[in-house]
Structure formats: C-alpha cells, structure tokens
Structure 1
Amino acid sequence: MVGSTMTLSEQMAALDRLVKRIDEISSLPDIAMRVIEVVSSPDSAVADLRLIVESDPALVARILRTANSSAYGLSTRVDSIHRAIALLGFNAVKDLAITASIAQIFKDKTNIGTYNRASLWKHLVCVAVASRMIASRSGIQEFDEAYMCGLLHDIGIVLMDQHNHKGFLEVVAALSVDEPTLVTERRILGFDHTQLGSEVSQRWGFPTSVLQTIKYHHDTSRCDAEVRPIAQAVEVANFFCTKKNITAMGLMNVPAPAGETFAALSIGRNELKVLFQDLDAELEKSRDLYEI
C-alpha cells in the first residue's frame, strides 16, 4: 500500500511501527548517545565530556587525527583530549566529539540511484558548519547549538535507509527535481524523514532545539519561538549547501526559505551574497570533518 492511498490513521500507524522498531535496537552508537547527552546538558562540565570520550580509544583517535589536521592549523601537536580542549576550546572539541561519534554509521558508500550515505554525511557536516556560521553572524546567542542541530537535521533519512530499506529504495527511484523530497516520501511511505527523525529523536531524549530543527527545518515558522532562530539558521544552511550541490539525496530540490526567515536572521540581499561566498572558505577549512 503506497502512502497516497493510506488513511491518516494508517500513515501514523506505519510511522509508529517503524519508530518502535528503531527504538528497540537503537541505531546510533552508544558512545554517540552519551556524547549527545553530555553536550546537550547546561550542567555538563569539560571533565564530563573528557570522561566519555576517553572511554572510547577509537573515538579519541578520530578526534585527535582531525584536531591535528589542516582544518585547525595548530603549530603544536595535539596528543590528548585534555590538550585538544586547552588548544581548541571546549566548544570546538564538543563539535569534534559529536561528529566523530556519529560518523561511523555513514561509512557505507553503496550508491542507490542519486543517493549514497557518504554524500549524505558530507551534506550533514557542511550544513552543521554553515548553520554555526550563519547563527554566529546573525547574532544568535546560542549559536554553538546550531552545529549539532545542523549535523542531525536529516537523521531521518539514514534511519529510513537502515530500517525501511525496501520503502527507501522506492523513494529514491521516484525522486525528481520537480518534487520536494518530503512530498515524494509522503506519497510513497505515508510519512517523511522529518517526522521519522523527530519521533525517534524524542524517544532518544534529544534536546528541544534539535527535535524541532529535525521536525521543522523545511518550515521553521512552526517552531517554538525560543528555538526558531537556530532552526532558521539550519534551514538557510540547508538551502545554501544544496545550492552548492552538497545535497542530502543527490538532487537540488530544496525550496528556498521564506523571505521572513532571511529577515528574522537579518540577512538582506548584500548579506546573503557575502554569506554564500564566505561559506566556500568555511567548508574548505572544515573538509577534514566530513572525512573524519
């Protein structure tokens, strides 16, 4: 039964069954869940993150390899998490930790039509970097949250790929530049990746800013007022990266954000042009992050 012939209750039941199946096996690595928990808590300290990261030697190795790459341009070699925090700062290491802990689920490079998981990973990292840049320049006080929100905004796509692969293949085969991906997903599955990602993330205890960004990054007017600026930064970042052909599903079919979104972020025509140009340099500096 395709999504377009399902009743609303049947669509919600299909989504609920998939969410429960994913929740039972927990798709994200345990270390990633623990990193997300600690970086999301305002009460967490540097020592809390160090304790979690240092419990996983492979994660430590990935963080240190990236910290010593050209992305950070350090003249002194980083040989420990403590040293990384001292030289790069807590926020930079926090972003490195969450990126490195999630990266492993995207290592499958199998191509499916216009989609492959490695390209989705590059898209997520680039949107994360762009989200932080846009949020910072727009004067959003919590701009550091934008990185994690951007990194996780399309988590529903990889969950579809992993846990509803047959349906996902049908979606990929039907993708078109003439139809937004969300519409294709709903037509075939009865739900879309924003619904799936937000439902699963709620069960995993993700913070409100991440939940609402996952759910509404294609229509941020629906976000609660207190988290809307971060989600708007992600929406614009998603559009920018897609326009640069750094796409989630291999197609440039993401609609432009509403004019109100750009206005809320104080992005006028001149600022828009500068941001779009500056993003290239920012992404180039961050190349090692999506190769982590």
Structure 2
Amino acid sequence: MPRGRGPFMNNGGTSTAPAPAYERLENGDVALKQVLSRLFGASDLEGGSHDILRLAGRGDDLEELQERIQGDPLLVALILRRVNSPYYRLDKPAPDLATACRLLGFDEMRNLAMTVLLSRMFREPLEVGTYSTTGLWNHSVAVATVAQLTSRVCGGAVPTEAFVAGLLHDIGYLLTCRRLPRDFSRLVDGLRIARDTPDLERRLYKFDHAELGAYVAAQWSTPEPIVDAIRHHHHVERYGGNHRELVYVVGAANYLCSRAGWTALGVHNAALPPNTTYEALELDEVALGIIWRELTPTLERSTYLAEA
C-alpha cells in the first residue's frame, strides 16, 4: 500500500455515520419501497434505452445490437460522431455503423449507445444553485471513463461493467431534481464541502440518491453487480456482497473525479474512500501512480463522449 497523505489516502479512519436507508430497502422495508415506487420507476428511462441496457445482462450479439441501433438514424449519427472523435483515437474514420461495430466490438459499442441514449435525459438545461444538469452529466461520463481506467489497471472488476456503473451511479440526483424539485433545491442550498451528502438527503426526503439510483436501475433490469455499485458508491466500506471489486472501483472513481473538479453537484463533497479500498483492489504505489498520471488525460477525453 502507498504511504503518506496523497490523493488516494484516507488518514481519518473509517466512517461512523448511521447506516443509510438502503439497508432498510435491502431488508424488505415495504414502506420505503412504496414511497420510491410512487415517485420513480422504469418509465423514467428514455425510450430505447431499455433495450440497450438489457443487453448488458445477456449475451454479446453484435449483430442484434447493430440492428437495434440502426433503427434510430439520429442515434447512429451521434454514435459515429463520437466513434470518430479523439476519444477513440482511431487510425482512420469509421464511415458507417457496421464498420464502427467491428472496430469497437459488442461491449464498447453497447456502452457507447447507452451513453448517447442516456444523454437525452440530461438535455433539458437546469441549474439549481451550484448544480446543473450539464455538470452532472459531465461528472457521470467522467466517472464512467475513470472507473474503466481503474478497472483495467487493477485487473479486478470488468472494465465494461465499471463503465456502465460509473455512468449510472448518480442517476438518482437527476430523478430527484425532476420529481422533488423543492427538496432538491434545499439539498443544494445545504451542501458543504466534504459534507456527507447522502446523510443530508435522508434528512430531507428519507432516502438518498444512491439508494434511489439502485432502485430505479433494478427496475430497468440492470445486472446486479452494477446495481450494487450504484447503491454503495458513497460508503463502499459497508458493502458485504459478491461484487466488491466493482463497488470499490466506482467509489474510488467517483472520489477522484470530484476531487479533480468533475463534480456531481458543483462542489467537491465526495468522501475519500478508506485505505482498505485500495488494498482490496491490490493497487500498489505503481498502479496508483499510473491512475493518477492518466487521470487528467482520461477526464479530458471524456468530454468527447459527454458532448451533445
């Protein structure tokens, strides 16, 4: 493990905050489920995204994926624009969707299609204090790319799963802003740097964005590892399930992006993950050095994916 007080190191001990509401949800709290089901559900996902997202949990049929994308000409155009951007650094441009699918493969093309489709949920500009939908979207794409980078370096979680989990990890903020605008405005007004935002959320509306995001992602038939990463990305040390590496990767990526200025709510309020996170991922000084060195270039490249 690395020593000292670098950007990855937590010298303040483990969290002693009360257990979040998602533990009640996992334990079958019917009342909490009823509250969430009344406010949110699968219909919150933009049309077309359901089919692409479900492909994350089964098979790798590139031909089927291509057919689904081909039915939406605007989606095809937006995908090709990103494929031919500096993000992918292709030797020569891909002239059509078939070529792009061959070059990227199923997992990368599926993730790119999801990115473009989900961007439609953020297209209505909205600002509430330090928060903006544009800022949240840029943060989501940044965490997706940094989670993928971290996964590749540590050799733990599946990189494509890390991307999807990073992309969706803060979807709860967007949904809360839409459905509970007054409470969300109070949340933003009450933000403090390094404050535990989920704790403030639970005091305002009895659940937090990670819990909500996991609930809605499950309604979208998202695979369990990704749902777990969404649910636990703020308090990774409390996770005791079977997908620890993915949860830890997303938690670390969320912190790194926020610290670097790609924040979800306009302020850096993501807590530093405990040192056990890096130990569990077997990230030594060399590996952490690689991630830190590649962080800024990765974040800069992520802007090409996040563009409208």
Tell me the equivalent position of 2:38.
Answer: 20
Q: Work out whether 1:35 is the aligned partner of 2:47.
A: no
Tell me the equivalent position of 2:130.
Answer: 114
CA apart distance, 1:67: 0.8
Distance (whole Å) between structure 1 residues aligned to residue 194 and residue 158 of structure 2: 36
Tell me the equivalent position of 2:94.
Answer: 78
Distance (whole Å) between structure 2 residues aligned to residue 163 and residue 94 of structure 1: 29
Tell me the equivalent position of 2:181.
Answer: 165
Residues 157 and 245 in structure 2, CA contact (< 8 A), matched pair in contact too? no
Residues 160 and 193 in structure 1, CA contact (< 8 A), matched pair in contact too? yes
TM-score when normalising by structure 2: 0.85
CA apart distance, 1:269: 3.9
Q: SS at the partner of 1:89?
A: helix
Which moves more between the two structures, 32-41 or 135-144?
135-144
Distance (whole Å) between structure 2 residues aligned to residue 80 and residue 177 of structure 1: 46
CA apart distance, 1:268: 2.8
* CA RMSD, 1 decimal: 2.1
Question: Unpaired runs of 5+ in structure 1?
Answer: 1-7
Q: Which amino acid aligns with 1:160?
A: T
Q: How many residue pairs get matched? A: 282
Tell me the equivalent position of 1:137.
Answer: 153
Question: Unpaired runs of 5+ in structure 2?
Answer: 1-23
Tell me the equivalent position of 1:58.
Answer: 74
Q: Which amino acid aligns with 2:57?
A: S
Flag the 1:91–1:69 CA change in 2: closer, same or farther, 3 A. same
Q: Deviations over 1:144-194 (max 9, x none)?
A: 211001100111111101111121111111111152111111111111111
Q: SS at the partner of 1:71?
A: coil
Tell me the equivalent position of 1:4.
Answer: none
Sequence identity (%): 30
Q: Work out whether 1:261 is the aligned partner of 2:277.
A: yes
Flag the 1:191–1:12 CA change in 2: closer, same or farther, 3 A. farther
Residues 194 and 268 in structure 2, CA contact (< 8 A), matched pair in contact too? no
Tell me the equivalent position of 1:69.
Answer: 85
Distance (whole Å) between structure 2 residues aligned to residue 198 and residue 49 of structure 1: 25
Distance (whole Å) between structure 1 residues aligned to residue 242 and residue 166 of structure 2: 17
